[in-house]
Structure 1
Amino acid sequence: MRAHGAILSGRSVFIFGASLSLLLGCAPAMPSFAGGSIVPTGRTDLATGAAYRIPVGDLSPAAVSPGEPGAELDQALSFGAPGGATPLVFVRHGLGSRADLGVEATASSARAHLRGRLPLGTASLLFGIAPHVGVAHDDTSAVRLGGTIPLVLAIDLFSLYEAWIGARITVEHIRGDLGALPVSLTGLRTGGVIGLAVGFRRFHVMMELGVDHELWTGDLGDNAIDANGLVLTPAFAVRLRL
């Protein structure tokens, strides 16, 4: 009865997080939450949490007024690569001893994730591909399309502690309208991630920090856009394994 109640409670938390992710936030932050390995065969992970995207350098909007120098760049970055918080949820299912399949969603994006595992003694090398689609801003018809290739070294210690560190590369394209101006942006994101999960049996609390360099090029109307800088993405989640 206790186990059944815990599962129902975990599902309730997940459903609440999923509903929240549809209502709040617009920052395109999508953490990896790789965990200590892939999901075991026939098991399913449900998780909900939040992430905060922090652009720095040239990617941090200067908040200049329309018509002033730099206004077009400021508008384009606020449109295509904004900072801010977003709730998130993900579901993953173990396909076998070497692979799992997942779906992740935030308030503005959704991503599928196919992962493979290469055993390395007590650790695992995780790799995969993760295409995504989303909206660039709440009040526009613009869309974003892209994909990520991750490579992560992960370890699971007695199902109590999980740790992971790795690298990733993402390519993304955004096309739509910003007011009366057409906008087209292409982004290249390269960086790394480090994370830790602590828990017992079915439940784990996951924490992660992503550090990425982003390069954005494109056009806003007749204005060329070219900007790059770092993006920090701290995130946390609560995971239930069924």
Structure 2
Amino acid sequence: MRPAPLGWLLSAALLLSGCASAVPAWSGGSTTPKQRTDVALGGAARVPTGELRDLEGLPQRRAAQGGGVVPVGMLRRGLTRHLDVGLMVAGTDARLELRGELGVEEGSTRSAWVWAVAPQVGWIPEEDGSGSGTRFGLDLPFVRAMDFGGVYDVWFGLRVGAEGVTGDFALEEGGAAAGASAFGLRAGGLVGLAAGFRRVHAFLEVTVAYERWWGSHGERSLDRGGAVLLPAFGLRVRL
């Protein structure tokens, strides 16, 4: 099999770096209680593998939009005893979410199934003439969440979603921009742990998923897939 031309490799890498986002779930051990507010700050990263890895020759600043560490901020407000709404900003991506609880078991250890519906949108800024565009998607995490006396939280479960990108990106490094669009599916699992006292908790979360992307860039088509690691960390304060 003949190796792919360098221009095609750069085209695919540029498009995939625009597609990718490092948005965590930050599910936590429960929904936010009614009339309470959770505020969290931290960071997240996206580590692609296989065909999704950043390719040699791709400008590092451009690749970092999809694969680098980004700052993350989150605000959640409890609507009812088992329902909350939230807003998360991760780099140039914004995510709205509605979360609820099912099968709640109260006690010294509180457990529940926590679901979320979270649409997101992002902006891909232009750097070094590589092009710009927008991202959009839907994230659907579903986890088993446990709260151990308000001191420790543990959550683990499934995370599926879909993302897309549209914009004008350079076909190759230093080349002219061409219209591009792509659509991707993601499925995997996540696990998280939080520890703290009363209103303040520090936490870690890791998502491991498989992504598959299909799209076009100019006259070139794209079909690539691989595993992705999404580690995240943060500090949450409940008001």
TM-score normalised per structure 1: 0.80
What is the CA-CA distance between 1:169 and the residue it aligns to? 1.1
Q: 1:41 aligned to 2:38?
A: no
Which residue number in structure 2 is paired with residue 219 of structure 1?
Answer: 216
One of 93, 99, 106 as aligned partner of 2:77: 93
Distance in 2 (alpha carbons) for counterparts of 1:136 and 1:202 = 35
Which residue number in structure 1 is paired with residue 11 of structure 2?
Answer: none
Q: 1:103 aligned to 2:100?
A: no
Which residue number in structure 2 is paired with residue 169 of structure 1?
Answer: 160
Which residue number in structure 1 is paired with residue 21 of structure 2?
Answer: 28
Query: Residues 198-217 of structure 1, C-alpha deviation per residue, up to 9 Å, x if partnerless?
Result: 00001000101110110011
Query: Residues 205-230 of structure 1, C-alpha deviation per residue, up to 9 Å, x if partnerless?
Result: 01011101100110111111110001
One of 119, 125, 133 as aligned partner of 2:113: 125
Aligned partners of 2:22 and 2:66 also within 8 Å: no
Which residue number in structure 2 is paired with residue 69 of structure 1?
Answer: none
What is the CA-CA distance between 1:138 and the residue it aligns to? 4.1
Query: Residues 7-61 of structure 1, C-alpha deviation per residue, up to 9 Å, x if partnerless?
Result: xxxxxxxxxxxxxxxxxxx972111111110001110000000011100111002
Post-superposition, which runs of at least 4 consecutive aligned residues in structure 1 deviate over 6 A?
78-81
Greater shift in the superposed pair: 176-185 or 195-204: 176-185
**How many corresponding residue pairs?**
206
Distance in 1 (alpha carbons) for counterparts of 2:54 and 2:231 = 19
Q: 1:151 aligned to 2:142?
A: yes
Greater shift in the superposed pair: 114-123 or 49-58: 114-123
What is the CA-CA distance between 1:137 and the residue it aligns to? 4.2
Distance in 2 (alpha carbons) for counterparts of 1:143 and 1:28 = 11
Aligned partners of 2:138 and 2:163 also within 8 Å: yes
Instruction: Say if 1:186 and 1:145 are closer, same or farther in 2 by CA, change over 3 A.
Output: same
Instruction: Say if 1:206 and 1:27 are closer, same or farther in 2 by CA, change over 3 A.
Output: farther
Which residue number in structure 1 is paired with residue 195 of structure 2?
Answer: 198
Specify the SS of the correspondent of 1:82: helix
TM-score normalised per structure 2: 0.81
The gaps in structure 1 that reach 5 residues or longer are 1-25, 65-73
Percent identity of paired positions between Structure 1 and Structure 2: 39
The gaps in structure 2 that reach 5 residues or longer are 1-18, 171-176
Q: 1:142 aligned to 2:130?
A: no
What is the CA-CA distance between 1:62 and the residue it aligns to? 2.2
Distance in 2 (alpha carbons) for counterparts of 1:82 and 1:141 = 13
